Amino acid sequence: MDSDVQRHAASDKGEADDHSRPAKPELDLNQFLPYRLNSLADRISQALSRIYDQRFAINVAEWRVLAWLSHRDVLTAKQICEFTRMDKARVSRAVQSLEERELISRTQSTSDQRVHYLHLTLAGEELLGKLIPEAHAWETELVSTLTAGEYRDLLNTMSKLERQLERLESQR
């Protein structure tokens, strides 16, 4: 061992022994729920995105816009921002791309010229008719390691955490 390293190690040990410095705060990210959930969500999203990117030339933001429109029929870009928690610029780019590909259409509100209603086109519905079954099949394969009870418990636990987070956010 290099003599400078030895001196440094010895001085650190001496400082730790005499408790002159407070204990160094540590955070094991592998045991920290926010990190684990975020990491898992990112990995799942990226793995699933390979399906819709390679087979359908759709990115994550575009997929989320299409998925919400399949679920709600008509939405505004602002509503999509709220539901997906994506920023306005990302949603705007996704909407523009989907509109250029004629997968969605935009209708201006008669009461407010700033508001545009987004709808799936027939081509968008056809694309989702192929994409959604593949996404469901992929999800089924992902959760196949869980029993039906574990899967139900996972969804229930996530719902509880979401409700608690809403309570915590409303208190601030």
CATH number at 129 reads: 1.10.10.10
Residue 22 included in any domain: no
Give 37-58 pLDDT, tens digit per residue.
Answer: 999 999 999 999 998 999 999 9
Q: Is residue 155 part of a domain?
A: yes
Range of the domain at 81: 28-170
In this prediction, residue 80 carries a pLDDT of: 97
3-state SS class at 104:
strand
Q: What is the pTM of this model?
A: 0.77
Q: How far is CA 131 from the centre of its chain?
A: 18
Q: Can you list the alpha helix ranges (DSSP code H) found in 3-121?
A: 3-17, 33-56, 60-72, 77-84, 88-100
Q: Is residue 11 part of a domain?
A: no
* Rounded Cα gap, residues 44 and 53, in angstroms: 14
pLDDT surpassing 90 at residue 96: yes
Q: Sorting pLDDT into bands at 50, 70 and 90, what band is 107?
A: very high
N residues, the chain: 172
Residue 7 pLDDT? 52
Is residue 97 one of the residues assigned to a domain? yes
* Domain membership flag for residue 4: no
- The CA distance from 45 to 62, in Å, is 13
Token pair of 102 as six digits: 């004629």
Kindly report each contact of residues 12-19 with a partner whose C-beta sits within 8 Å and lies 24 or more positions away, as own/partner: none
Domain total of the chain: 1
Give the pLDDT score at 8.
54
Is residue 119 within 8 Å of 71, Cβ to Cβ?
Answer: no
Q: What local confidence, expressed as pLDDT, does residue 108 receive? A: 93
Tokens of 27: 């955070």
Please, what is the average pLDDT of the chain?
90
pLDDT band of 2, cuts 50, 70, 90: low
Within a domain: residue 106?
Answer: yes
Residue 7, domain member (yes or no): no
pLDDT at 20: 79
- The Cα–Cα gap between 69 and 86 comes to 15
Residue 2 counted as domain residue: no
Structure tokens at 28: 């094991």
Closest CA to 48 of 24, 68, 73, 67: 67
